[in-house]
Structure 1
Amino acid sequence: MKNRVIALLTVALLTSTMVAGCGNQAAPEEPAAATQEESVEEVVAEASVEASVEEPVQDVVTDITSSLDDAISAGIILCNNNLFKAGEAKGEGHILMDKDEPDEEGKQKCYVLEMYGAYEFQNGNFVKCAGSGAIPAVVTVQSHDDGLYEFISMVEAEDGSAFVDSIKKNFPEALWSRCITIDSDDLNELERQERAFAEEYLSKIGREDAEIGDYSDFEYKLLTDEGVSVDVSNKMIDVQSGDGFEFFCPMWIGDREVLEDNVRYTYKTEYDQKKKQIIFSKVLYETGEVLESSVYDATTGDKVE
C-alpha cells in the first residue's frame, strides 16, 4: 500500500450514490448491559466502542482521478465510516486477490480481503476502538477509458452460518479456500496497512510517540481491580449508560480523548483509594481545565453531593 495523505473532509462531499453502494455490512453490536452476573471485564472493550462522538468525521472522496488501489481503499473507508462512529482516525487494509474484466459499461468486480479500524487515544496509547477483522469483500469500481477508477459499491461476506455459502456465491472458486481460512500472512499484511493510516495520522498531529495497538495489547485497570464491588461497578456502568458526560468516560481507571467540533477533550475515570470515591471528569485537553465532574461513593455507588 502506497502512502496516503489522510484528509479531514466533510460529509457533504460524499454522494448519496456512494453511500448506497455499501452493502451487506453488519452494524456494530450494541454494548451489552451489565448485570449482577456479568463481570465488568466482559463489557469494557465493547463499551469503549460506543462511547464516542461523531465529530470530526474523517472521510475520503472517490472520483475519477483515483487509481484502482485508491478507489478500493476509499470505498472501504467510506462504507465502514458510516457504520463505526468511534475514533478520530480511520484506516483500512486490503489485498486484491483477483478481479474481473470490465463489463460493457466499464464496471469491474474486485475480489479483496479487507480490514478496517477506527483509532482513539486511551491512556496515551492510540488504540483500535472500533472496526473489523479480516473480511472477504467484492468491491465494484467503474473503470474509465483513461485508465482511472471510481468506487461504486462493496458487498462483504455474510456472517455466521451464511458465511461459506456467501463466499461460494460471490467469489471465484479459486479464491474460496483463501477467503474461508484467512492465513496469518494475509492477516499481518492487512494489519500493517491499516496501522499505516494510524501512523500517518499521528505524524500529522505531532504525536508519533504514541503506541499503536488493539485494546488487548494494553493493560487496563478496572474498578474491581481496586477492590470496588461488582455491585458498585455495575452501578457505575448504569451511570455511564445515561445521557450525561459520564457516557464518554472510560470503563477503566484512566482516560480517553475525544474530539468534539475539532476541540480535544480528555474524559477521565479515577479512583481515590483513601476517600473511597470514584470520580468522573471532562477536561479541556489543551489547558487541563476541568469542565464537568461527578463523584460517587465507592462503597455504595451513591452520588456524593
Structure 2
Amino acid sequence: MERMFQIILVTSFYSSIVGISIIIIKTLLKNRISPKWHYIIWIILVIKLIIPFGPESTISIFNKVPSVITGVNITHVSGEAINTIQNKQTLNEQTNTNPSEITLDNGNKKYSINFYLSYVWLLGALLLICALLYTNYSLYLKLKKYSGNLNERVDMIFKEVKSEMGVNKSIQIIFQPIVNTPSLFGLFKPKIILPIEILDFSDREISYILLHELAHYKRRDILVNYILLIFQSIHWFNPIIWFCFKRIRDDMELATDQKVLSILQGNEYREYGRVLLKVLESLSSTRFSPRLIGIVDDKKNMEKRIKMIKMGGFFKSKRPIAFIIGFLCIVIMGLLLLTSGKTKDEKDINKFQAFMDSQTFKILVSPEKYALTMSSTIGIKLQPEFVGEAKTIQYYTSEGKFAGLDISTGKVEEYGKKLTLTYGIPVYWLPLIEEGLGKEGDKATVRIEVYNENHNVIAEKEIIIVFKDGFYAVVPNEGIIIGTNSQTKIDYPKTIDKAVSSAIIGRASAYKQGKVATEGHVILDSEEKDGIVKVYTVASYGAFGFENGVFTFVSGSGSIPTVIVFKKNNNNEYILKEYKEPMDGSYYTNSIKDMFPKKLWDKVLNPNNFPEIRKQQEEQATKYLESIGRKAEVISNYTERKLANINVQASNKLFSEYTKFDQELNKFPYWLGTIEKVEDGVRYIYETSQSKTSDGYDLIIFTKKKEDGIVVKEYKYKIVGGEPKLVE
C-alpha cells in the first residue's frame, strides 16, 4: 500500500506539471485553434495520469524538473541501485535510524508516516468512489419510476434531431422532477433526462436542447466524464488536478456546442445561444445530483460559450488551419510532456558528485582480502579519512560485526553491528559466524557516517563486502582505497593438498564457531584442463572446543563427497573457483553421480569408510593444544552431555526461553558440565551444575570463573514446579 501511495504521489506531481503546462499553452493559443482542439489537447493529461513515465527524451520538460522519486522503482533503475536502496532500508531497520518511524506494540512493529498517509489516501479515494456509486445508483432507481412518462410531441422532435445528428441507437427520454436540468445519464444504456418544465419551451428550443445532449452522446463525453470522476477520486488530495478537470469539463461543453453548430445553419447560431441563456435562467439546478453531462453550465463558462457561438462561422471557415495547428500542438506537447527526462545526465551528475565526495571522504581498507584463518589481522580494517571538521564516525553493518584493537594490550574489543567512535580511530569488520555468512556470493553492507561537532551528518559512504573464492573482500568504488597501509600478502597454496585444506577450512563460517578449526580430507582423483583443476575428494570440517575439560568435536560436518575446482595462476598457485557438495535427501545419490566420474561412485557413496579423516582432525587439534601449552584429552566424536534432571516445563523455560533474552545466560552450557570461552584474551570457564536447596527444591547454578578458580559471576535458579525462580 505504501508503494502504491508513493506511485500515486509521483504521478499526481508529474500530472500537475502537465496540467499547468497545458493551461499555459491554451492561454497562449486562445482563438488560434477551435474549441474542439482546445478539448482534445487535454488527452495529454489523461494519458499522463494513466502512464506517468514514458520513454526518455532530451527534449522532455522533465529534464528541468527535480526528481521527487523516493523508493519507487519507475524506469531504468539498475539492479545495483535497487540493492543499494534495499540494503540501506535493511540497515535502517536494524539500527533504528529512520526518523519517520512510529513504534507500536511495545516496539515490535515500526511504521513510517507514509504508511499512515497511504491509508488516509485510500480511505478518501474509497469514500469518493462509494459516494459516486451511491448517487448514480440512487438516481437510477428514482428514474425507473418515471421511465413510462412519454410525450408524443417531444418524441417526434427527438426522431428528427436524431436523424440530423446521425444517431441510430435507441435512447430513452425521461421526464422527471428530480434533476432540474437537461442531462445525459447512463454509460451502457444512455438516457436523456428532462425536467417537466421543458414542455413549456417551443419545438425548436427543445430540438436545440436535444441536439446538445445527442452531441455529448456522439462525442462519448459521458465515458470521458466517468474517467475524470475516477481519476478525481484517486487524486482527491490534489487541487491542481481538480482545477484541470473543471477546465476539461468547461472545454467539453464548448466543443459540444461547436458540434451542434456544425449541424445548424449560420442564421440559427443566435437562436441556439438564446436557448442556452434561457435554460440557464429558468432551469439551473439547485437540487443535489451526481455529476451529469448537461446543457447547463456556470455563468462564467456560459459567457465563453456565447462568445464561441458568435465566432461559430469563423471556426467553420478556418477548419483546415485549426486542424493543422491543433495536430501540431498535440505532437509537440506529447514529445515534451509524455516523455521522461534522460537518466544519463543524472547519472553523470551523480558520478561527478561521487567523485567530488571521494576527494574529501575516503575509506582506507586493508587487507585486500581477508580469511578467517589469517592470523596477521583480526578482520578487514576500515580507516575513514575526511577533509574537514569531523568529530565522530558512526558505523552500521547489515551482516557481521565490528571490533577494535587495543594497541597497548593487544586485546580485541567487540562492538557489535553499530558503534560510534571518535574520528581517527580505526575499526575492524569481521564476519559473525553464527549468521552463516560465508557462502559464495554473500554480501554485507557497511554504512559509514561522518558527524561534526553539532552532530550533523556531513558525509556518508557505503561499502559492500563480498565473500568470494574463500575470502572476504571490499567491492571497489569511488573513495575506497583498498590495500593501503596493508602489510598482509595473500599467499595462495602451491600444492593440491594444501589448496584442498584451505578450501575446506574456508567453509568454517557455515558452521558454529569452535576454538580451533580443523579439516580432514582424502583426494580420490583430480583432472586438469586449460589451467582449471578439478579435485574429487571426501572432506570434513570440524571445530574443537573444551567441554567438561575435554577438547572435543563441538561442531562441523561428517565426511562429505566434495568436488573442488581451482584455477592455476602464472605462479602455479591454486585459486578456489568452486566448492560443490551433493544435494540432500532423495537427490543425494543422483547428485553424487552427476558430480563424480563413474569409477569413483562406489567410494563416494560410502564416505564414512575413511577413518583417516578424523585422525587428521585430531592431529590438528592436538597441535593447537601444544601451541597454547595446554594438555587435554582430544576426542573427535561428540561427548555425552548429561541434561539437568528437573521439571520439563521449567527446563524449557530456563534453557530455551530465558537464554533468548539474556545474552550472558546464553553463554552457559545447556547440559550439566563446562565449556570454555576466550574473552578479551582471558579464558573463562562457564559451568552449569545442579544441587538441592535447604528446603528440598532443585537448584540450577550457573557459574562463570577464571582458570584459577576465581568466580566472576554466579546465577542460581530455584525450580518450583514448572517455574524457575532466580535466587538473589
* TM-score relative to the length of structure 2: 0.32
The alignment status of 1:207 with 2:630, answered yes or no, reads: yes
Letter of the 1:250 counterpart: P
Letter of the 2:527 counterpart: D
Compared with structure 1, are the counterparts of its residues 258 and 100 closer, same or farther at alpha carbon in structure 2 (3 Å cutoff)? same
The alignment status of 1:20 with 2:447, answered yes or no, reads: no
Compared with structure 1, are the counterparts of its residues 242 and 298 closer, same or farther at alpha carbon in structure 2 (3 Å cutoff)? same
Q: Which structure is higher in helix share?
A: 2
Name the SS for the 1:207 alignment partner: coil
Deviates more, 1:81-90 or 1:107-116: 81-90
Residue number in structure 2 paired with 1:240: 659
Which aligned pairs between 1:48-63 and structure 2 lie closer than 5 A? 63=491
Shift of 1:147: 4.2
Alignment partner of 2:670 out of 233, 244, 251: 251
Shift of 1:272: 2.1
Residue number in structure 2 paired with 1:196: 619
Shift of 1:69: 0.6
Write the distance in 2 (CA, Å) between the matches of 1:62 and 1:208.
33
The alignment status of 1:87 with 2:87, answered yes or no, reads: no
Name the SS for the 2:716 alignment partner: strand
Deviates more, 1:133-142 or 1:203-212: 203-212
The alignment status of 1:96 with 2:523, answered yes or no, reads: yes
Alignment partner of 2:496 out of 60, 63, 68: 68
Shift of 1:175: 1.4
Q: Deviations over 1:236-281 (max 9, x none)?
A: 2122333331101111111100122332111111112354311112
Write the distance in 2 (CA, Å) between the matches of 1:272 and 1:165.
53
The alignment status of 1:177 with 2:602, answered yes or no, reads: yes
The alignment status of 1:220 with 2:648, answered yes or no, reads: no
Matched-pair contact (CA < 8 Å) for 1:68–1:150: no
Write the distance in 2 (CA, Å) between the matches of 1:284 and 1:12.
30
Which aligned pairs between 1:114-133 and structure 2 lie closer than 5 A? 114-133=539-558
Residue number in structure 2 paired with 1:273: 692
Compared with structure 1, are the counterparts of its residues 219 and 156 closer, same or farther at alpha carbon in structure 2 (3 Å cutoff)? closer
Matched-pair contact (CA < 8 Å) for 1:240–1:249: no
Shift of 1:293: 2.2
Letter of the 2:516 counterpart: A
Shift of 1:74: 0.6
Alignment partner of 1:292 out of 679, 700, 713: 713
Q: Deviations over 1:200-232 (max 9, x none)?
A: 1111112233332322xx3433211xxx22222
Write the distance in 1 (CA, Å) between the matches of 2:691 and 2:573.
59
* TM-score relative to the length of structure 1: 0.74
Letter of the 2:500 counterpart: I
Q: Deviations over 1:118-149 (max 9, x none)?
A: 01100100111110001011111222455442
Shift of 1:196: 1.4
Letter of the 1:126 counterpart: F
Q: Deviations over 1:275-301 (max 9, x none)?
A: 43111122233x433222211103341
Shift of 1:86: 2.0
Shift of 1:151: 2.9
Name the SS for the 2:546 alignment partner: strand
Q: Which of 1 and 2 has greater Rg?
A: 2
Write the distance in 1 (CA, Å) between the matches of 2:726 and 2:650.
11
Matched-pair contact (CA < 8 Å) for 2:699–2:719: yes
Shift of 1:62: 6.6
Write the distance in 2 (CA, Å) between the matches of 1:62 and 1:153.
19
How many residue pairs get aligned? The number is 251
Name the SS for the 2:726 alignment partner: coil
Matched-pair contact (CA < 8 Å) for 1:62–1:151: no
Matched-pair contact (CA < 8 Å) for 1:246–1:281: no
Letter of the 2:661 counterpart: G
Write the distance in 1 (CA, Å) between the matches of 2:608 and 2:688.
39
RCO (CA 8 Å, sep 6+): is it higher in 1 or 2? 1
CA RMSD across the alignment: 2.6
Letter of the 1:68 counterpart: I
Alignment partner of 2:585 out of 142, 160, 165: 160
Q: Deviations over 1:137-183 (max 9, x none)?
A: 11112224554423333111121122112112221111122112225
Matched-pair contact (CA < 8 Å) for 1:265–1:284: yes
Compared with structure 1, are the counterparts of its residues 196 and 211 closer, same or farther at alpha carbon in structure 2 (3 Å cutoff)? closer
Shift of 1:194: 1.5
Deviates more, 1:170-179 or 1:61-70: 61-70
Unaligned stretches of 5+ residues in structure 2: 1-372, 382-429, 431-437, 442-465, 471-488
Matched-pair contact (CA < 8 Å) for 2:494–2:572: no
Residue number in structure 1 paired with 2:704: 282
Matched-pair contact (CA < 8 Å) for 2:690–2:699: yes
Shift of 1:7: 6.6
Unaligned stretches of 5+ residues in structure 1: 1-5, 23-60
Name the SS for the 1:87 alignment partner: coil
> What is the percent sequence identity of the aligned residues?
32
